[in-house]
Amino acid sequence: MIGELFPVLVGSVKPLSPTLLACATFWLSAFGEPKLNVMFITLDDMNRDSVGIYGSKVKGTTPNIDRLAREGLRFEHGHVTIAICMPTRAVWMTGRYPHNSGALGFTKIKPEVPTLPETLLGHGFMTGILGKTEHVVPSRTEAFGYSRDRSEMDNGRSQELYGKFTAEFLGKVRKADKPFFLMVNSHDPHRPFDNRKPASERKLAVEPKGSSTGKNNKKAKRADYPAPSRIYQPDEIVIPGFLPDLPPIREEIAQYYSSVSRADDVVGRVLNELEKAGFAENTLVMLKSDHGIPVPFAKTNVWRHSTLTPWIVRWPGTVKPGTHETGHSVAGIDFAPTILDALGLEPMKGMDGRSFLPVLKGKRQKGREFVYTHINTIASGRSYAMRSLLGKRYGLIWNGWHDGETTFKNESMSGLTWKAMAQAAENDPVLARRVKHYLFRTPFEFYDYGKDPDALNNLIEDKEHAKLVIRYGEELRKLMKKSKDPESPSYQKALSEIQ
């Protein structure tokens, strides 16, 4: 039997030592099938409704992502835990809420907290990362044996280089004969959005000076990256329902969709290399965005369109192709537990999330009605404590930072969209109220996302929803207490004032 499984090794002059035999059997599962590999593809600032198969109203945005979804499973209720680039990745890598990993904002994970790549490296996996290296366990770079940062890939925008380095990594994997974990992080559609010709009068929606990815990066100011396969014009796109339809906003959203197209190009390239290398059939591919679009009322907030992102899983032989999973809510804290479970490895110490492997296998799993999302410290260093409890239809928000005087400010207010909104609000009372709400908030918000997906009508004082508000408030209180959220005392005090 061993001779059949390892003909090269057994056929050599010397017999296998017990150590070599143990290593060989680790890499192979029962009956000689290859050990499972993992490719995790992340998209930077991509809204879920930008993806074709998730109902995008803009044509032709994501053919490669759509194909991946048809070949696997897509979650209807897949959320990130925190809608900010770096801390959401810390959640993915640790399976912990931000206050339990130490990565509340743009800070390092606590030294004693284990991470997924370190754990897999310790189990003999080859680990690799392409892009976003500064945002993925920055204090643990040694956890990735193979690494290419954005400076080596045209600021993380080159489809060709993502493909090249994926092929290079997979070549090393084949020589080493080990299972792998490869994290592919596109820097699209993050600002700066693509603004290339023929619309020569268009202004680049530049990376804001305070942004963690644009700081001291001259290339981030230019629109000279590789062209996307599709360039969108303002008259081709549909404005998100939570934004007003104004010419400058159309301009910027068109630039965003061109960047979405380039992100999809990257997905196509890396999946093609995976197939060419012969690993597609024994690789679990998971695709997710780190949060919603970087405009007001989305990124760096806790509305549903802040945290609800595309979440797709392809796993040949386990996940049924074409599955649209609508019965369970999953969150960023569940990523690492699921990967470890799929690989047959023990959970890491202290994880807050839990594996949704049963869901991937088509089974029901209890306790997946709600997700609990956060905002703490943002890229500028400002602190805005926000918590949200999201069900499949309703959502409760607590704005712990609200005091009636403090104003909200983040990088989503750079570029064309916020400026256009603020100017138009001077002569539009409805938009003026919307702008004021974004700046100051209220202590609590409650939305019926089934009827109001864009969160335009705050129902917190609506008597018909009073019982639901109480229920959601109590569920959030329990989750905050259970996770030892440091904001729990402040939340309980605020909750008592509205009950």
Residue 354 sits in the same domain as residue 417: no
pLDDT tens for each residue of 356-373: 999 999 999 999 999 999
pLDDT tens for each residue of 41-84: 999 999 999 999 999 999 999 999 999 999 999 999 999 999 99
Residue 217 sits in the same domain as residue 308: yes
Query: What three-state secondary structure class fits 394?
Result: strand
What is the reported pLDDT for 8? 35
The residue segments making up the domain with residue 198 are 34-368
Q: Which residues contact 242 (CB under 8 A, 6 or more apart)?
A: 297, 298, 303, 305, 454, 455, 456
What is the reported pLDDT for 197? 60
At residue 340 the predicted structure's pLDDT band, cuts being 50, 70 and 90, is very high
- Produce one character per residue of 212-227: b if its CB has 16 or more CB atoms within 10 Å, e if not: bbbeeeeebeebebbb
Question: What residue type is 422 in one-letter code?
Answer: A
What is the reported pLDDT for 498? 87
pTM above 0.85, yes or no: yes
What is the reported pLDDT for 133? 93
Cα separation, 91 vs 98, whole angstroms? 7
Edge-to-edge, what's the strand order for the sheet holding 73-78?
Answer: 146-148, 126-130, 180-185, 37-43, 283-289, 311-314, 73-78, 323-330
- Which one of 347, 368, 389 terminates a domain? 368
What is the reported pLDDT for 170? 99
Q: What is the mean pLDDT of residues 188-209?
A: 66
- Where residue 71 sits, what CATH number does that domain have? 3.40.720.10
At residue 29 the predicted structure's pLDDT band, cuts being 50, 70 and 90, is very low
Residue 155 sits in the same domain as residue 272: yes
Residue 98 sits in the same domain as residue 198: yes
Question: What does residue 199 show for φ and ψ, rounded to 5 degrees?
Answer: -85, 75
- Which one of 313, 340, 368 terminates a domain? 368
Cα separation, 136 vs 123, whole angstroms? 20
Query: What three-state secondary structure class fits 417?
Result: helix
Q: Please give the tally of structural domains in the chain.
A: 3
Residue 213 sits in the same domain as residue 328: yes
Residue 246 sits in the same domain as residue 231: yes
What is the reported pLDDT for 205? 47
Residue 172 sits in the same domain as residue 236: yes
Q: Residue 446 in contact with residue 397, Cβ under 8 Å?
A: yes
At residue 217 the predicted structure's pLDDT band, cuts being 50, 70 and 90, is very low
Residue 327 sits in the same domain as residue 383: no
Q: Bigger pLDDT: 218 or 261?
A: 261
Nearest to 116 by CA among 388, 424, 346: 346
Query: Which structure tokens are listed for 413?
Result: 């207010």
Does the pLDDT of residue 1 top 90, yes or no?
Answer: no
Residue 187 sits in the same domain as residue 258: yes
What is the reported pLDDT for 74? 99
Does the pLDDT of residue 102 top 70, yes or no?
Answer: yes
Does the pLDDT of residue 324 top 90, yes or no?
Answer: yes
Dihedral in degrees, nearest 10, Cα atoms 465, 468, 473, 478 = 180
pLDDT tens for each residue of 140-175: 878 999 999 999 999 999 999 999 999 999 999 999
Residue 71 sits in the same domain as residue 18: no
Does the pLDDT of residue 132 top 60, yes or no?
Answer: yes
Nearest to 146 by CA among 130, 163, 157, 164: 130
What is the reported pLDDT for 277? 98
Q: Which residues contact 305 (CB under 8 A, 6 or more apart)?
A: 47, 48, 49, 240, 242, 292, 293, 297, 298, 453, 454, 455
Does the pLDDT of residue 210 top 60, yes or no?
Answer: no
Residue 404 sits in the same domain as residue 347: no
Q: Bigger pLDDT: 115 or 2?
A: 115
Residue 284 sits in the same domain as residue 346: yes
Cα separation, 106 vs 93, whole angstroms? 15
Average pLDDT, the chain: 91
